[in-house]
Structure 1
Amino acid sequence: MKQTTPEYTHSPLTDKAQAFSLRLFGQKQDGRLLVHNYSFAVSVAHLVAEIAEEEGASPEAAECALLSAWLLPAGYLYDYQNPTRYSQEAARQFFAQEMVADGLSQQVLHCIGIVLNGETPDTAEAGILNDAVQAVTYLSGQDDRAALLQLEQELALGQRYARPEWG
């Protein structure tokens, strides 16, 4: 994936969300997270900004999707199999700390839930986030991405996959 700097300007709040995510991943380091880690958050956030710009998303939708991108991976630190609850809890903690308005915080929680639960996006920001997460997870251009994802799942879930099973 090429790293570009989109023209969308980050708000002070999205910068704080990035710092919050970095702090979480720094405090609770989990060597099993080979894909869903802070680097994943960075890649998703960059792609969210790029997609938002390309689609001409409103600044509000872009900010919501970007906040969601920084906060979504946190749940993998606490419950790999069901990260939604903990990602949303981390987001709530961040919003309380930063005194974010209920409307924006609810939109971000909604986006995180939609994407992590595999539901069809029903808002522009959820669509942007979903596209970025799927692209970074499965289409990142790294030849070893599938192998890393398989190993991450084996380590995090304690399951072994037969070669044909993984594909």
Structure 2
Amino acid sequence: MFKAKVYQYSNINGKENKIEREFDNEQDYQNFIQNNENQSMFGFNWGSLREFNKYLDDFFDRKLGYDFGETENELPYFENSPVDLSKYEQELRKIENDKKAKEAKKNQLESTLSKLREYRKKFKEEGKDDLVKNIDSDISKVQEELKQA
């Protein structure tokens, strides 16, 4: 038994566009998708429950801020595989996400350090020694965090 529903709504500059269709026949659904390829939401084509579950996992991970993205090392799903690879794929995505987060933190710290050095130079020129001392302290903190990153 096949059931599918396609719904899309957009409102661009007051121009509304709404598409809503239900399908009981897979061939009709496939024809509709092919005839509306330019509609990005119609790109979903779940051939199995496992693929649909993967889509939902990815969707909720992204909504919760775990944007793992697609990786080159992602293993394909095999319908008849005796082993469920999804748990390994999820762990691999978590590892990649951790690497990206560490790199982003390092970039942020380097940017902060650069800004602090600029401020220090300007305050030094203006004779604001109290601010220079505070900035020196903050520079030390940021450098220590960079060593740990």
TM-score, normalized by the shorter chain, greater than 0.5: no
TM-score range, shorter chain: under 0.3
TM-score by length of 2: 0.27
- Structure with more strand by fraction: 2
Structure 1 or 2, whichever has the larger Rg, is 2
- Structure with more helix by fraction: 1
